[in-house]
Chains A and B, each alone.
Chain A
Amino acid sequence: MADTGEIKKKESEITQKAERTRSARVYTPYVDIFEKGNDIIMYADMPGVDEKAVEITLEKRVLSLYGKADYELSGDCELCGGEYGVGDYSRSFTLSDEINRDGIQASLTGGVLKLTLPKAEAAKAKKIAVSAG
C-alpha cells in the first residue's frame, strides 16, 4: 500500500530523442493495472486533464497515454509557493496480451482515466497448413 507521505510527482523519463513541440513539462502518471476476468483494467491519475484532452493510442502492442492538463486559474494569478509542477502526462506500456481493439473502453472522471482492454479471444490455436511444393 502506498504511503501517501512519499507520493511525489515524477517527471517523465527521457526515452525518445524527439522532443515535444509544446514546452510544458511532462509527468509520468501513476497507474494501477490489473486483470479482471478477460479484461485488463488500467487506472491512471491525471489531475487537470479532461476527457477532451486525452489521447490514447494502441499501436501493435504499445499502448500510449497522453493527457494535457489545463488549470482553471485566472490569468492574473501569480505562483507564490509551489510544491508540485503542472504539466502534461505521458506514458507507454507494452502489452503482453493481444487486445480486442473494438472492445476498448475509456472514461475519465475526476482526473482519473479508466481503461478497459478486453483480451482477444484466447489466442486461438491456429493451424498452419504447409503446402507441399
Chain B
Amino acid sequence: MFITRDYNGFNLWSDVEDRFRHLQHEMNRISDKFTSHSPKKFPKVNAWAEGEDELVFTAELPGVNSDDVEITVTGNHLTLSGSREGENGKDGESYHRRERWNGEFSRSFNLPFNVDSDKVNAKFSKGVLYITLPKAESEKPKKISLN
C-alpha cells in the first residue's frame, strides 16, 4: 500500500489510484466475459470447511421458497435443484427492467468424503441456503491401540 500525501490540496496518488482501480475493474469485467461461459453452473456455490469433519455449502437463492428446493445426498454426491417463479407481467403492467433470473436449476457436486446423510442439515435464511455436510463416521480416521 502506498502512503499518500496531499500536496497543495491536490492528491496525486488518489488520482492515480482511481485510474488504476478503474482499469482493474475494466479488466475484471473483460475477463469475466471470457470465463463465465460455463453453462448451467447455477446457482453459484461457496464451500466452507468447518473443522476437519464438516463442510458447509452456501448458495444465494433469493426469493426461492424452501419447498421448491430439493437437496439429495448419496455417499459423496450432492445434488441441489429447484426453481424460482418470476413476477410475470400481467395485463396492465409494463416492464422497465427485467434482470432477475427465473426458471429451474440443478447442480451436482462430488464431495471429498462420504457424508453421513442422516445428519445433513439445510437451512434457508434471508435468501441464502446453508447445507451442512458432516463426514460419515466410517471416513474418520480410527486410532488403533496396540495391545
**Interface set of A (CB-CB < 8 Å, partner B):** 1-9, 11, 13-14, 17, 30-37, 40, 43, 45-50, 70-74, 76-84, 86, 109-112
Contact = CB atoms under 8 A, between A and B. Distances in A.
B71 interface: no
Contacts, number: 158
Interface stretch (B2-10, B40-48, B139-147): B40-48
Nearest to A49: B126
A50 B127 CA distance: 9
Given A83-B46, A111-B128, A36 B92 contact: yes
A8 B124 contact: no
Given A45-B62, A46-B127, A84-B60, A32 B100 contact: yes
Contacts of A8: 32, 36, 44
Interface of B: 18, 21-22, 25, 28, 32, 36, 38-51, 55-56, 58, 60-65, 86-87, 89-90, 92-105, 124-128, 130
Given A5-B40, A84-B60, A110 B50 contact: no
A80 B49 CA distance: 6
Contact of B58 (A5, A11, A73): A73
Contacts of B58: 71, 73
A45 B61 CA distance: 9
A46 B126 CA distance: 8
Nearest to B112: A80
